[in-house]
Structure 1
């Protein structure tokens, strides 16, 4: 399938310095977009400078659009740095007329789904909840992660070398995939630990469920692209599809994006199957002409990802000096949004490519 990339120079200055700066720039762009319908969803708490926190959404295009392309940013707070850059890049091109939406199509951009984590350079919210493990039925027994229970003591060891030996022993006994599931598939009993799915609906989940109703999203064809960073090959944007193999959602993802689509359930992805994903809420409302994909931009190794996240939870799980947390927040940013200009150019280019593929797939239907 052919598609057209916008011939606009890549400008890495769209990557923000902070949550507050990103939000201000994102909001300023809306004035240049006719009929942009903005909504702000306040979040409890405040940022490091006392700034208020919001998740923002904007609807661009006809209110009665049959089809909606959805860009989600900041599902994991600190990953919003790249999510903001991608959204700002596309809003700028729309405002300048460099790109246009197909007929009967709207764009819904959702900025900073986890604004507290974005502002404080953490993945989770103020209660330690990982939004991307929060989409479970809290009226039913919650998923149990026996591997996490076995490794919990090791994850919080002060000696990183001793921790690595413990994790390596687990991997030798159970395999690499089992190790990654134990650490990252999701757990629901340890608020201080990583990948905690919570015990209630988080702010981001409540926003998503409100947007379903506000925009009657179950009645439309949807192409959802959830923007993430930190896992996979350096600078590459992997299209991860958590629809069931052989499902209509997987078929639609392959139709739009081709053979670059990977499926955790088939073992073809850098990601392993997980509990409580945001994807699953969208799957429930989607028709056969819709799909949800995660566009995951890799940075450094999975082992390094685990180390930086575990240190983050150690520092926030117990009282820690502000300067120590500050130094670690810089390490978090280096992992999830490297300052390398080449990495940032790759992110912008690949995001343009994937969004153009989604739009071209709908244009072909006209």
Structure 2
């Protein structure tokens, strides 16, 4: 049924996704709040907001959070899952019966969602930005070694740049290249996977949302929806919490043995610091948590990485020919959103299953 109905959940632009989300929330009589990004407009001149929809009491003892758009165009997938959830009578009925409130956070990164950039308005990767900025930031010495060929001066890259990358992989391995590039860096503001030097607008907004609606929760399940890593259409269950044996065990009890922790070296994701969901530890220290990055595969890894490289090249070269700009934006969109019924159906089925498992896990925690 999902393959024939999926298009009513998903959208083609940030503005359309926002409209569908707000309409579905209004139909549910959800409590809606909007947080305006005042410093920027969208790609079509639209206002940019992170919107939330709350079903059930604020500050409930048990809370399910589903967030979308942490990485800009990955919001096409996450927004579709959120709209589908708002129209799922059976699942919402289970939440109500269990006394679990539902908090949907739509478009964590509205600028990137609208402008088709994985990063925010300041070129910050938000999943590297939730740090303690009053302490020394993580060092990534290898980044300086790889940036010259990862972000070459010309696009498409010259043969020399690709040969240098191949030589690095031959010497150090593909995992070392992945970690050098994507684990995060805090030294090159116009570089790739930049984590920022201060809390971003989205960081401050998410913390304000948690303080308003989750600060009293004793149990929180949080699913942050992502795309771009892993096999086509497969939803990898990535443990998104801290390196804590009890929390990891809880995640696997809720979602199964195929929950992969990046710090164990088995995930498609690099082991990163500063992820969005880690804010729950500081804002809701009283809560027992189940934290997941639900990552849906799209294109082969090298295609996704090349789309990201091109995007950052364009960020450094904004006077590129219009035709080239449009192609880079479209390639970036395609790398993080497979706009077809088959993929959308795979996404919706797996997301619903994860949400049911999360509900069952929350029910098992004593309030």
TM over 0.5: yes
Unpaired runs of 5+ residues, structure 1, are: 1-6
1:229 & 1:296 partners in 2: Cα distance?
A: 5
Partner SS, residue 59 of structure 1: strand
Partner SS, residue 98 of structure 2: coil
* 1:347-366 CA distance string (max 9 Å, x none): 11110111111112234568
User: What is the alpha-carbon root mean square deviation over aligned residues?
Assistant: 2.1
Select the residue among 26, 29, 32 that pairs with 1:38.
Answer: 32
Partner of 1:181: 179
Partner of 1:314: 313
- Asked whether the 8 Å contact 1:55–1:111 carries over to 2, the reply is yes
1:94–1:61 CA distance, 2 compared to 1 (3 A): farther
Offset of 1:287 from its aligned partner?
4.7
1:322–1:8 CA distance, 2 compared to 1 (3 A): closer
| Aligned positions, number | 359
Partner of 1:206: 204
1:141–1:42 CA distance, 2 compared to 1 (3 A): same
Q: After alignment, is 113-122 or 36-45 more displaced? A: 36-45
1:335 matched to 2:335? The reply is: yes
- Asked whether the 8 Å contact 1:212–1:218 carries over to 2, the reply is no
Partner of 2:262: 264
1:274–1:362 CA distance, 2 compared to 1 (3 A): closer
- Asked whether the 8 Å contact 1:283–1:292 carries over to 2, the reply is no
1:97–1:277 CA distance, 2 compared to 1 (3 A): closer
2:362 & 2:207 partners in 1: Cα distance?
A: 25
Partner of 1:4: none
Q: After alignment, is 318-327 or 185-194 more displaced? A: 318-327
Question: TM-score, with normalisation over the residues of structure 2?
Answer: 0.92
Unpaired runs of 5+ residues, structure 2, are: none
Q: After alignment, is 313-322 or 94-103 more displaced? A: 94-103
2:42 & 2:85 partners in 1: Cα distance?
A: 26
- Asked whether the 8 Å contact 2:218–2:288 carries over to 1, the reply is no
Partner of 2:165: 167
* 1:2-59 CA distance string (max 9 Å, x none): xxxxx8776221110100001011111122213x221110012111211000000111
Partner of 2:291: 292
Partner of 2:354: 354
Select the residue among 100, 103, 107 that pairs with 1:108.
Answer: 103
* 1:252-304 CA distance string (max 9 Å, x none): 11111011211111112111211222232223435563121100001122222
2:256 & 2:232 partners in 1: Cα distance?
A: 21
Partner SS, residue 177 of structure 1: helix
